[in-house]
Structure 1
Amino acid sequence: MRIPVRKESLPYLIILSLLFAIFYYLNFYLSLIPLLSLLFIIYFFRDPDRKIILNDSYFLSPADGTVMEVKEIEESEFFKGKAIKVSIFLSIFNIHVNRSPIKGKVVYKNYRPGKYLPAFKSHASDINERNSIGIENSKTKVLVHQITGFVARRIVCWSNVNDNLEQGERFGLIKFGSCTEIIMPLNTEIKVKKGDTVKGGLTIIGVIK
């Protein structure tokens, strides 16, 4: 059976387990600090399986979190024109695994170093550390930004150009608080609004026209 915790948590788990053992030997009450931290890491890196409802007319949410913004933008990387952006804020209590909004091939990938402003700031997307992947199929295309925040300092992306992704398939992870943005064609029928709670691979962000 698959263990529903990401392997990226292993270094933290090893260190905290060692600290717990040492502190427990020295003082039981001191050992509670690494123990609680250990439990938090297991909770944070959880990655349960989900039943994805496949539909090639939908853009599914790439992340769990809260919709911060829905706006029309001028996108210069991938669409090279007008598009619609939905920004999703992930708190430290959300699952931080990113999932593909559509079925398709990864045709674009770009990593950009940057700052570590709080992910809920509107300009964080422009200046924070960011990884982007563009996914395309015969019907449409989508760009997803993985953006670090004040706490998050590590973006993980398992997918590369020419990889094929299923709709809802895991492609990456952002460690600790962060933001994920999904950028879709301008004529997409958006199904969410600011303040909505969304689930990666489950919530319909938009309908392809």
Structure 2
Amino acid sequence: MTQSPAVRVTGRSGPVRVGEPAARTLVTEFARRNDPKAGLLVGATPTSAVLAAAIEALLPGDTLTVVPTPATAPADLREHVTAQGRWVADRVRVVDSLAEADPAEVVIAAEPLTGTVEEARATIDGLTKYLADGAVLSLAAPVAPGRTGGAAAELERQGALHGVGTDLVLRNSPPVRVYRLRFTPAGAALAARLAPAHRPSSVPLTRNMHIDSNGVAAAGITLGLAALARVVRPKSKLWLLPALAAAPVAAFFRDPQRDVPEDPSAVVASADGQVLSVQRLHDERFGDGEWLRVAVFLSVLDVHVNRSPVAGKVVDYFVADGGFVNAMKPAAEHNVAAYTVLETEHGTVVVAQRTGLIARRIVQRAPVGALLARGERFGLIRFGSRTDVYLPADAADPLVGPGDKVVGGATVIARWR
């Protein structure tokens, strides 16, 4: 009988616990699909936060097959599922072993991998047999030293080969890194049926306002400098400078929730800011034909989290060298820039994240092969910068002009014909 291949580690500090934030991250690929889909959850217990998150993500037409841990009686798990009500019980099937499961669009290991490299590889090989074409395998491993015997290294290797997303979840005991692996390609059309993915890199402050993890780190550094200055020079007020800077630094990395238009013909702004230009041009780097480029300038007061303007599949990513001219000037077109190339149902779309006079750091979190929903966060640029969206000129009509203010993920900047 084939049991759950995922294992749990126990030591002086107890088992690896998967809390609600990590559970939500593990089931992201299942939760974001709006079309009827089949999920497979391996290694669950009645009290598993991952099971609770998967049940919460169920939509009409979905099915979820659950495999208990070796230490869990299937009858206990079935009783727990039945207690959730008829709606859940009709969609969730508990099987005695993995061998009874069918292939699924999303396969989730409920317990972190903590064994050796060989054990982790065997676990992954065992679970890939239950992946449908284009399906995603979601797994986690602890990142705390001494909590894994090599599984984390194997997941890192698998992520480099097959990864379509990874997230570090610090709000867990111990922290874990979640990997999403895809071993067979998925079509770009699937992206149109996805909702924006849950991102633990954004730390919630309120229901509608988050702070990107970069902001948490930057604020932590400034507060650390303030504490150090207070210790080194206790009679000086110098410590107030970094202490007072912590709040505005964190605010720069604010990440508000946005209502993404549901219109499938809409192309949304990739960033907050002011439209600098809307022009037609040729750029052989992205292929033949004419492009419609909408350039948006981001001041230091704008939200700097970047969002995908369309639903599509990341098929290429490259960085072009250049200078650091003021992003409002035309010469900024030749600044250092990161280009994310998306395959869509309407043709190729490119998002350029350009540095500016102050901005020197581009963050891009969508690897090649990842599927992005329209309005989904995929990166950010630190401090003043510019974001350009390239659309096939013969397939889209612009709806904004120079001087217009746009809101990333919400303002419709163009419409597919």
Q: Which of the five TM-score ranges fits, normalised by the shorter chain?
A: over 0.9
Task: Give the Cα separation in 2 of the matches to 1:182 and 1:28.
Answer: 49
Task: Give the Cα separation in 2 of the matches to 1:93 and 1:24.
Answer: 30
Check the 8 A contact 1:140/1:208 in 2, yes or no: no
Residue in 2 that maps onto 1:113: 321
Deviation sequence 1:47-99 (CA, Å, 0-9, x none): 12212122220110000000011111112121432111111000011010110
Task: Give the Cα separation in 2 of the matches to 1:144 and 1:80.
Answer: 17
Whichever residue aligns with residue 148 of structure 1, its letter is: T
1 or 2 for the larger relative contact order (CA 8 Å, sep ≥6)? 1
Any stretches of 5+ residues in structure 2 without a counterpart? 1-20, 22-202, 205-209
Residue in 2 that maps onto 1:124: 332
Q: What are the within-5 Å matches in structure 2 for residues 180-195 of structure 1?
A: 180-187=387-394, 188-195=396-403
Whichever residue aligns with residue 87 of structure 1, its letter is: A
Check the 8 A contact 1:87/1:182 in 2, yes or no: yes
How big is the alpha-carbon RMSD for the aligned residues of Structure 1 and Structure 2? 1.6
The percent identity for this pair of structures is: 35
Residue in 2 that maps onto 1:177: 384
Residue in 2 that maps onto 1:70: 278
More helix by share: 2
Report the secondary structure of 2:254's partner residue: coil
Residue in 2 that maps onto 1:6: 212
- 1:20 is the counterpart of 2:223: no
Q: What are the within-5 Å matches in structure 2 for residues 13-162 of structure 1?
A: 13-24=219-230, 26-27=234-235, 29-125=237-333, 127-162=334-369
Q: CA deviation at 1:28?
A: 6.4
Q: CA deviation at 1:31?
A: 2.7
Bigger CA radius of gyration: 2
Q: CA deviation at 1:142?
A: 1.3
Task: Give the Cα separation in 1 of the matches to 2:305 and 2:393.
Answer: 26
Task: Give the Cα separation in 2 of the matches to 1:166 and 1:93.
Answer: 26
Size of the aligned set, in residue pairs, is 208
Any stretches of 5+ residues in structure 1 without a counterpart? none
Query: Which has the larger displacement, 109-118 or 4-13?
Result: 4-13
Check the 8 A contact 2:353/2:386 in 1, yes or no: yes
Deviation sequence 1:15-47 (CA, Å, 0-9, x none): 211222234452564233112321111110111
Could you tell me the TM-score, scaled by structure 1's length? 0.93
Could you tell me the TM-score, scaled by structure 2's length? 0.48
Report the secondary structure of 1:19's partner residue: helix
Whichever residue aligns with residue 123 of structure 1, its letter is: A
Task: Give the Cα separation in 1 of the matches to 2:235 and 2:392.
Answer: 58
Deviation sequence 1:98-154 (CA, Å, 0-9, x none): 1001111111211112211111111211x2110001112223331110000010000
Change (3 A) 1:17 1:55: same
